[in-house]
Chain A
Amino acid sequence: MSEVTPDLVRHLASLARILVTEEEVQKLTGELSVIVDSVASVNKAVSGDVAATSHPIPMSNVFREDIVLPSLTQAEALSAAPDSAEGRFKVPAILDEE
């Protein structure tokens, strides 16, 4: 079984784009260890050739007619954005100056 370490938690939090304090890292390490130990039992359940199910009711090829339907206007789409300019979503710097 994989050990959940503080370093792993820091790495996962950065992948998930969640800033964590050192206190949170310690707390999460303990909590996630307990949870992972418990859910790891799924390994014991499956042996041999079992197909994976990703969706409860199998469906395929869900198409619709290629016709234009009413949709949000640009102003509506931008109405809840924290910031916008010139009809676009505005975000802070993408590249670091350093």
Chain B
Amino acid sequence: MSDLIHKSAAELAQLINSKQVSSVEVTSAFFDRSEKLNHKTFSYLHLNRENALAAAKLADQALAAGKVHSPLHGVPIAVKDVLVTKDAPTTAGSKILEGWMPQYDATVVVKLREAGLPILGKTNMDEFAMGSSTEYSAYGPSRNPWDLQRIPGGSGGGSSSAVAGRLAPLAIGSDTGGSIRYPAAVTGSVGTKPTYGAVSRYGVIALASSLDQIGPVTNTVLDAALLQDVISGHDAKDSTSLPNSLGSMAEAVRNADFKGLRVGVVKQLSSDGFQAGVSERFQDTISKLTANGVEIVEVDCPSFEYSVAAYYLILPAEASSNLAKYDSVRFGMRILPEGNPTIERVMAATREAGFGPEVKRRIILGTYALSSGYYDAYYGSAQKVRTLIQQDLAKAFAKVDVLLTPTAPTTAFKIGEKVNDPLAMYLNDIATIPANLAGIPGISVPNGLAKEDGLPSGVQILAPAMQDAQAYRVAALIENLYKAEWGDYLISQAPDLEALNV
């Protein structure tokens, strides 16, 4: 039964569908492993066997009655703690929400339940998704299954380490500036940020509403495509939800071919500032595509130089507004100072005790960016940079179908290495941020191990807005090229988590 944990979600779905194994057996296998090994990776903030097995039983009963709710029917999944769930506490990695039981399910959670996917638990994250390493989680950092002394990326390091450590076959993440793709790159897994609006944000604890997007965290491109097909679609409860379907991503993966493919390499994101082994892996990916007749074109995106700066004005501005709701009145923590304090003092004391240092930093930065006198210079200019980035991308996509970049500038760094240097931490997202500012889809796919440290590296595929299928097509092609070389997915080269020690 232990070999179940080494199978892809697509394979597990097939085994369940053909009744060779039950959803209860698969769910138990992953749950047992999670219970046993979560202390090593700290992927989960909350695990609930009873709920997971009850959902698995329902999936098995439906199957016995001839009903298959989705192509992932019966396959268990881990959910980032940024999505509200009415049967499990939801904290977004913050003390201010410790113990909060939401009164409703996020739309994505409703979709997972309806599609027959048992939820194993809620995964760890940087507090309110602010961070690239999970070191800003109020509950402690998650660890990378390739090396437990290293970060699994962030903010979705709980989901990436759960999938890469095979504590779950699938997970859900959220990506505001790279929080799905960056963790995927440093853990040798696959992560997608869909087009803005492709997946409902209803019930997602907001960080920056014009940037946030929910997406799949998996070990294979087909699994990501199958999961995106389950969670996407119009939702009347989210006014930014796209009205039309973007088509089947699984079909795009299954029909992927090289015919006529034109790939762009962004001049500003090709070599400078990237670790040697990461650059070497990226050049290897490009060479493989060239060898298969793919046309490679260098494209110029000069405004990308300003994307991190624009992002760290827009994000704190939106976050300072979104996080005003943690006011000690309707939910979450309330701290009462001595005497007969006014509500204003109660709020300030609660937010002092409930928020961690990075959250305070960003709220105060956002308050600054939005204050009169500074608004035009900072927030106003940042919004203009957003236009310039969209214009650069429009020019690039007139020449090519997709753009490729290394996903992350380095492989996973050591826990503690950057935690006291906010600016260094912000630069981890240099290649992933433009997609959020422009609303376009991006996928990170493993492209090998960096020669100097033997740690995973990822390549990012960017496609025009609404053309998620094109990104999946190229992701599948790249994955196939490497699978042919390695004989299996990169994740099969990961160390045995049971043998690793913290």
Pick from B11-19, B128-136, B347-355 the stretch touching chain A: B347-355
Would you give 19 A-B contacts (Cβ < 8 Å), ordered by A?
A17-B327, A17-B351, A18-B351, A19-B351, A32-B364, A40-B378, A41-B309, A43-B381, A45-B381, A46-B381, A46-B385, A52-B384, A52-B386, A56-B211, A56-B465, A57-B242, A59-B197, A80-B100, A93-B340
B384 touches A50 (CB 8 A): yes
Pick from B27-35, B148-156, B281-289, B367-375 the stretch touching chain A: B367-375
- C-alpha spacing A97/B341, complex, angstroms: 9
Task: State whether the Cβ of B166 lies closer than 8 Å to any Cβ in chain A.
Answer: no
Within 8 A of A (CB), among B296-354: 303, 305-306, 309-310, 312-313, 320, 324, 327-334, 336, 340-344, 346-349, 351-352
B101 touches A12 (CB 8 A): no
B residues near A34, Cβ cutoff 8 Å: 422-423
B340, B388, B438: the one contacting A50 at CB < 8 Å is B388
Closest CB in chain A relative to B371 CB, distance in Å? 7
- C-alpha spacing A53/B434, complex, angstroms: 13
User: B-side binding surface: helix, strand, loop or mixed?
Assistant: helix
When C-beta atoms are compared, the residue in chain A nearest to B353 turns out to be: A19
Task: State whether the Cβ of A95 lies closer than 8 Å to any Cβ in chain B.
Answer: yes
> How many residues of chain B are within 8 Å of chain A by beta carbon?
74
Per-residue CB contact flags for chain A residues 54-69 toward chain B (1 = under 8 Å, else 0) read 1111010010100000
Binding site for B on A (CB under 8 A): 2, 4, 8-9, 12-20, 24, 28, 31-32, 34-36, 38-46, 50-57, 59, 62, 64, 72, 76-77, 79-83, 89, 91-97
- 4 further A-B pairs in the complex, CB-CB below 8 A; given A31-B422, A40-B377, A82-B334: A38-B309, A45-B303, A50-B384, A54-B383
B438 touches A32 (CB 8 A): no
Task: State whether the Cβ of B195 lies closer than 8 Å to any Cβ in chain A.
Answer: yes
When C-beta atoms are compared, the residue in chain B nearest to A59 turns out to be: B240
- C-alpha spacing A45/B307, complex, angstroms: 10
A residues near B342, Cβ cutoff 8 Å: 92-96
Most buried by B among A41, A44, A53, A95: A53
B390 touches A53 (CB 8 A): yes
Closest CB in chain B relative to A43 CB, distance in Å? 5
B236, B347, B377: the one contacting A17 at CB < 8 Å is B347
B388 touches A45 (CB 8 A): yes
Given A46-B384, A93-B341, A57 contacting B240 (CB threshold 8 A): yes
A42 touches B309 (CB 8 A): yes
Closest CB in chain B relative to A97 CB, distance in Å? 6
B378 touches A77 (CB 8 A): no
B346 touches A92 (CB 8 A): yes
B361, B385, B465: the one contacting A42 at CB < 8 Å is B385
A residues near B346, Cβ cutoff 8 Å: 91-92
Closest CB in chain B relative to A46 CB, distance in Å? 4
Task: State whether the Cβ of B104 lies closer than 8 Å to any Cβ in chain A.
Answer: yes
Closest CB in chain B relative to A40 CB, distance in Å? 7
